[in-house]
Structure 1
Amino acid sequence: MDSKPYLSICIPTYNRLEILANTLDSIYADLNDVDIEDFEVVISDNQPNHSTKELIDKFNFKNLHYHASKSIGFLNSFDVLKLGNGMFLKLHNNYTMFRKGSLKQMINEIKENSIDRPVIFYTNGLNQFGGIKRFDSYNSFMYGLSYLSSWSSGFGIWKKDFENVCDTIEVNNYFPQTSLLVSQTQKSNYIINDIPIFDNQDIPKKGGYNIFKVFSVDYVSLIEKVHNREEISKETFNKIKKDLLLDYLSVRYFKTVIVRMDNFEKNNIKESIQIHYSAFMYYIMIGTALFAPVKALIRKVKVFFYIKSYN
């Protein structure tokens, strides 16, 4: 490209060729409404055989860039951001499709905020308000965002801000995106965009690691460091912990342990959770897990009405 694009959609990937193809199709379906010079798609493939290369070659777009990577695990999410040339680097899961018209909406939001460069986080209706909220402090932003700060596809960072911290921050092996997010405490403006703009594809038998340990120990420890530095309040820290346990880990417990919908590891769940939670809260989580299908249905209904209100 002769000029820098506004948006880099940075996709770390490992296999999932058909799923990635669907995601790319959803991005390029919007070219009638979007100038191809305004964005780029960057693929970082850390599968040892780099099997994604053949798929990318079938997409004949000048702004689609493929990179073979030796990154280990989730660190590919950090390294793919280094490859982006856009003004705003949007981390994006390979299974997260764009809804029709949402690429244009995202580029317009970046253009509108390119001077002040606030932190922008996309929660896709998961935050349960379906609109856009602005915050003037990191603490209030994190209170509103809660455990969704862990979500890869919600994260984005301005390239200038990324370059300012990428060589100095401590990157968590499981949550590189959150490691970057907690480096942005000095900002004066923050945005949570909760408008549903993505469709997540189902990943059959997703798993391969101990998700309960990763979230209840690694993620909470990462957020605890932010609290210990007094960059978020105790109230915010406790809210994130509670929401994580009762709104996320309880649902994961239902899917992984009760109905066995995935392949996440199930060993030492109680021991992992009790590092940062009491035994009482562990059993509250199990009880809450029984209502996971009802909570999921309520969320889907809300998102449905959010989508209708923006169409």
Structure 2
Amino acid sequence: MSQPLISLCIPTNGVIEWVFPVLDSIYSQNVDNELFEVVVTDNGNNAEFKAKFDEYQKNHENLFYFRSSGYEFLSEPDSYKNAKGLFIKFINHRTKVVPGALEYFINWINENKEEKPFVYFTNGVLAKEKTFEFNSFDGFVRGLSYWSSWSTGMAFWKEDFDSIPKDTVYNFLFPHTTILFSQKNRKKYVIDDKILLDEIPQGKIPKGRYNLFNAFGVEYPGIICDLLRNKDITPETFVCVKNANRTFLSTLYLDYIILKRKCSYDLSGYKESLRVFYSDKEIRNEGLIKLLIKIIKRIIFVKKIKVVETIMNKKKIKKIGGGYRLGHKSAEIISFRLVA
């Protein structure tokens, strides 16, 4: 097999419910197998997963399996080491490739393989579905904002990965940032916001067990701070990314500390973690403001529903002691909206 244009790399710990729908989404694209390969790197211990994979692999000669000793997220760079494609695209083991996406990646590679810009695929999170171009690393980092903490958008030329020293120590929680921030002198950087992936609902399977607030309150802003100290980015860009990350942290605080939603993350020491680059009170207050805004929006929404239902049930309105009440159907709908 000649060098494929693209390697789709899927690090996993062997979750059957996620990986195989992702593989199905790739092989249902009807793209010539010579143009791509799929590299699955497994650091789990699920014998059932391996047995099912062996059966699946029999029908796909461009599908490869490798064991990884990398703990947790460190299996990600291991997957890249086994890739042979001209271009490498990270695929999260629970994000399906939408129809036409593989062809989109291949066309993008063919159109850019001479100039070879550095690219990140934000998958619609910027709510623009546009393409943004930058002529400086500083502009690229600012454009990505706190989304640079998210590995799902990772994509790069194999030669860029090969240029990273073999003995490089990757960040335990954000290993992708070593690659993402390795190319500081490119003539062109691209952020492509087209939606190309579709995340599988988490269900009852734990998404992560790491210390959440240490990761995003200490480790990630520390990585951005290193860029500032090395003069790779400007103070203005550092502040921009740091502030955007603070807003993200306030959402996590609202979900898991204020509302106490169930999760598999380690939430211990959250106050101490938030005090390294931020103020835990500041983030708490921002979280409370978000909660207040949600409540206000819900009240406004319910009032609108009430007016609409009153009109819809006009014929069902009954007069009671000089006043009026809505029919049962309308009252039931409003009640549902309140608890939804």
Please give the alpha-carbon distance, in whole angstroms, between the structure 2 residues aligned to 1:109 and 1:259.
Answer: 43
Task: Report whether the alignment pairs 1:41 with 2:41.
Answer: no
- The answer to whether structure 1 residue 238 and structure 2 residue 235 are counterparts is no
Unmatched tracts of structure 1, length 5 or more: 295-311
Deviations 1:115-141 (A, max 9, x none): 111111011110222111111111111
Determine whether 1:19 maps to 2:18.
Answer: yes
- Per-residue deviation at 1:92? 1.6
- Report if the CA contact (8 A) 1:250-1:292 is conserved: no
2:260 aligned with 1:263 = no
Deviates more, 1:102-111 or 1:280-289: 280-289
Residue identity in the other structure for 2:40: I
What is the identity, as a one-letter code, of the residue corresponding to 1:99?
V
TM-score (norm 2): 0.81
1:116 aligns with 2:115: yes
Q: Aligned to 2:85, what secondary structure does the other structure show?
A: coil
1:52 aligns with 2:52: no
1:51 shift after superposition: 4.5
Aligned residue identity for 1:118 = P
Q: Is 1:254 equivalent to 2:254 in the alignment?
A: yes
- Could you list the runs of 5+ residues in structure 2 that have no partner in the other structure? 296-340
SS at match of 1:120: strand
1:167-221 superposed Cα distances (whole Å, 9 cap, x missing partner): 2544111111011111111211111010111111122342311111111111111
DSSP-derived class of the 2:132 partner: strand
Q: Percent identity?
A: 35
1:59-91, Cα deviation, whole Å (9 max, x unpaired): 211111011221111110111100000011111
Per-residue CA deviation, residues 33-59 of structure 1 (Å, 9 max, x unaligned), is x22111110000001355532222232
8 Å CA contact retained: 1:256, 1:264: no
The verdict on how the C-alpha distance between 1:189 and 1:288 changes in structure 2, with shifts beyond 3 A counting, is: farther
RMSD across aligned positions (CA): 1.8
Task: Report deviation, 1:293.
Answer: 6.6
Structure 2 distance, partners of 1:202, 1:166, is: 37
SS in 1 for 2:88: strand
Runs of 4+ residues deviating >4 angstroms = 291-294
User: What secondary structure is seen at the aligned counterpart in 1 of 2:160?
Assistant: helix
2:27 maps to which residue? 28
Q: TM-score, normalised by structure 1?
A: 0.88
User: Which residues in structure 2 correspond to 1:1-311 (within 5 Å)?
Assistant: 1=1, 3-31=2-30, 34-49=31-46, 51-59=48-56, 60-167=59-166, 169-204=168-203, 205-246=206-247, 248-257=248-257, 258-290=259-291
Of the two structures, which has the highest relative contact order with CA contacts closer than 8 Å and spacing of 6 or more? 1
SS of equivalent to 1:286: helix
CA distance in 1, matches of 2:176, 2:118: 13
Is the CA contact 1:123–1:194 (under 8 Å) kept in the aligned structure 2? yes
Give the letter for the 1:43 counterpart: V
Partners in 2 of 1:180 and 1:151 — Cα distance?
13
Contact 1:270-1:282 at 8 Å conserved across structures: no
C-alpha deviation, 1:252, in angstroms: 2.3
